[in-house]
Amino acid sequence: MKNIWVIILPSVTALAQSETERDPNYSAISMFLAFVLFTLAITYWASKRTKTTSDFYTAGGGISGFQNGLAMAGDYMSAASFLGISALVFLNGFDGLVYSIGFLVGWPIVLFLIAEKLRNLGRYTFADVVSFRLRAKPTRTLAALGSIVTVLLYLIAQMVGSGKLIEILFGLDYELAVVLVGVLMILYVTFGGMLATTWVQIIKAVLLLFGASFMAFAVLYRFGFDFESLFQKAIEVHPLKEKILMPGGLLSDPVSAISLGLALMFGLAGLPHILMRFFTVSDAKEARKSVFWATGFIGYFYLLTFVIGFGAIVYVMQDPQYLDADGKLLGGTNMAAVHLSHAIGGNLFLGFISAVAFATILAVVAGLTLAGASAISHDLYASLFKKEKSGEKTEMRVGKIATIAIGATAILLGIAFESQNIAFMVGLAFAIAASTNFPVLFLSMYWKKTTATGALLGGTIGLVTAVVLVILGPAVWVDILGNEEPIFPYKYPALFSMSAAFLGIWIFSLLDRSPEAEIERAKFNEQLIRSQTGIGADKATEH
């Protein structure tokens, strides 16, 4: 089974290879250009309102809870989710829901454990929270490095996916397509900052929800909104018959199921581009509203992908126009939703869905780039190298330079990894977020005895363990390096790397008897009060 994390990537690659003479989709091109022009106009508008570091990083804290929730949903509902989950339902039926549930249940964890404290304790990044009472140098360094690694791994996958998609729609060379995506990404973030990024994500979320809703309701309309009739028809068509309504076939190994669940749930709570969004609202109340709205939008979206998957079984699986000479789906099974859009709405709706699929990637890469740039300019440059003495204009300038550098790096890596199986990279990004960022963030807020030494060593152990286990596992050791058997038998390392991180932080914090450690423990009560009230959080001192 292909890795769900970037399921779009092999699908668009296969589609490009199977239809090398494919004509450009002019409907998609026109809609894509309209989206780009509109969002560039928003970027120009936002640039006039981005004057300070607060504006650049957090849109001045002026985003409402509803707007931020919609932007969060837009940041999180990737093309991989849209195409990948519907493809899993297309292949396995009911079992595809395991990923939907895993992606969704992380949001209540964020709501109850992270959102309020994060907003009250931080300013721009989650490193602000970690360094509230822990020594700034080790904790900010670890948090920044964890953020940058996560962002780059995520960006490679998104750049390759978007490059392949534009290559198909426009008929452009892949390298030119990647450069186009990178330039747009740099323009959004450099000139518009968080305000432009937020509105790009909101627009993308609305378009994606509309497109998915239209597809799902069109399918249900044809069955009189009778789910039983839809499922019965799918059973008749699908080669697995009744098994598509029975759970347990996709992840029969309990260790893999648990490890995947942990990565999905707790990786969300450690993704820097998601955590950064909590600082765009005015207070903790609006932060809670953000998660509430985001959970609602995302839950609704994943219900739609379930219907879309079953609709693809009925209308695409046995239609000759969507099959190749061997009877397999054109472009691979991951294009099931795209083919369904044509079956439902013809070329016009196919163009719309194709353009929306690209818009989802563009919105995600903008958020990722801003998170990476903030880690460099705020966490490393302003807070560590200049010790908050750099000045707002200088910090913003460094942030924009970092944006260009990250964009250029993403372009080069996207071109370099064009022909590689990079599906493991986003999986690794989630594993690193769950094994490095989340344990450090969680224990710094909730465990009094946590020290900077413990956080640094434990977080590093989680980071190294996640990377090594992925390399030794099936995704790299077998699929990429060509070995017959993996050294580590599981695709998903989070169960082991998360445990190693928490254990490492616990042990090394207890062993830390330094004077600095006693100061850090003594500041826990101050942090607790401010995490509940938010009073003075923006004036937190680091030592």
Q: Which amino acid is at 82?
A: F
Whole-number Å distance between alpha carbons of 35 and 40: 9
**pLDDT at position 358:** 76
What average pLDDT score do residues 449-462 get?
Answer: 93
pLDDT band at 537 (very low <50, low <70, confident <90, very high): very low
Domains of the chain listed by start with CATH number: 4-423 (1.20.1730.10)
Q: Which residues of 73-88 are buried (b: 16+ CB within 10 A; e: fewer)?
A: bbbbbbbbbbbbbbbb
**pLDDT at position 27:** 74
What average pLDDT score do residues 386-410 get?
Answer: 81
Rounded to the nearest integer, the mean pLDDT of the chain is 81
φ, ψ at 323 (rounded to 5°): -115, 150
What average pLDDT score do residues 167-193 get?
Answer: 82
pLDDT band at 248 (very low <50, low <70, confident <90, very high): low
- What are 192-230's pLDDT values in tens digits? 888 988 998 899 899 999 999 999 999 999 888 888 898
φ, ψ at 21 (rounded to 5°): -100, 15
- What are 346-379's pLDDT values in tens digits? 888 888 887 787 777 778 888 888 888 888 888 8
DSSP-based three-state secondary structure for 429: helix
Q: What distance, in Å, lies between the first and last C-alpha atoms of the chain?
A: 49
**C-alpha torsion 249→252→258→259, nearest 10:** -100
pLDDT band at 428 (very low <50, low <70, confident <90, very high): confident
pLDDT band at 76 (very low <50, low <70, confident <90, very high): confident
**pLDDT at position 20:** 37
- Flag whether pLDDT at 532 surpasses 90: no
Whole-number Å distance between alpha carbons of 527 and 533: 10
Q: Which amino acid is at 232?
A: Q
Query: How many other C-beta atoms lie within 10 A of the C-beta of residue 490?
Result: 21
Span of 28-37, 100-109, 478-487 with lowest mean pLDDT: 100-109
More confident residue, 1 or 444: 444
Q: Which amino acid is at 269?
A: A
**pLDDT at position 500:** 95
Q: What is the CA radius of gyration of the chain?
A: 23
What average pLDDT score do residues 302-311 get?
Answer: 88
What average pLDDT score do residues 484-512 get?
Answer: 91
DSSP-derived secondary structure for 286-353 = HHHHHHHHHHHHHHHHHHHHHHHHHHHHHHTTT-GGGB-TTSPBTT-GGGHHHHHHHHHHHHHHHHHH
| Sequence-ordered list of residues with C-beta below 8 angstroms from that of 277, at least 6 positions apart, any chain | 68, 71, 72, 75, 290, 367
Structure tokens at 144: 């920044």
